[in-house]
Amino acid sequence: MRKSYVTNNIKPNEFDALIRITVEMSKYLYPYIREIMKSKEDIEMNSVIWNDFNKRFNELIKERFNIDSIRVKKLLNQAENDEIIIKSLLILSFCISNQGYLKLKNFLYDF
């Protein structure tokens, strides 16, 4: 999915390290993650935060991912990507506890 010509398989210890970094980052960013999810809850409320987040998300996808891939196209499709984004944010917000590393690992294997 990424814009890369090198297909290196990730090693188990690198995978673990990435999960740990992600959990630590989501602990730090929890207030922001929460606000992004909250901005989408009330339809009448002006969802500026959500729109900003979505715009930046799409920009980063276009910048770093292979846009020709069907899976990436799905991520950029406004009609379909809401569910993917919300579920990803929910997973991150559920994994901010001390044992969040194990939870996230479990979620990823089940995904």
Partner 1 sequence: MIQNKLSFHQSSVSLEIIGLPDYSKNENKDQISIISQWKLTIVDKPLIEGKIEHLGPIMDAFYIYSNLLIKNEIPIYESKLIDIKAENLHIHSIVLKSSKPKVKPLVLKIGNSLLSDTINCFDQLNESPKVTIKKTDIPTNIAKKLRFGLNKKVKFFNFFIPPFIAICSLILFSSSFIIFYNPFENIEKKELINPE
Span of 17-25, 32-40, 52-60, 72-80 interacting with partner 1 by CB under 8 A: 32-40
Q: What are phi and psi of 5, to 5 degrees?
A: -100, -5
| CA–CA distance, 75 with 82 (Å, rounded to integer) | 9
**Residue 64 corresponds to which tokens in the numbers above?**
């770093």
The residue (of 42 and 63) whose beta carbon lies closer to partner 1 is 42
| Smallest separation (angstroms) from partner 1 to the CB of 73 | 20
Decide if 26 contacts 100 (C-beta within 8 A).
yes
Q: Is residue 107 involved in binding partner 1 (CB under 8 A)? A: yes
Decide if 92 contacts 103 (C-beta within 8 A).
no
Q: Is residue 49 involved in binding partner 1 (CB under 8 A)? A: no
Residue type, 87: K
Burial tier of 44 (Cβ tally within 10 Å: 0-12, 13-18, 19+) = exposed
Write the interaction track for partner 1 spanning residues 51-90; mark x where CB under 8 A is met and - where it is not.
-------------------------------xx--xx-xx
Residue ranges binding partner 1 (CB under 8 A): 9, 31, 33-35, 37-38, 40-42, 82-83, 86-87, 89-91, 93-94, 96-100, 102-103, 105-107, 109-111
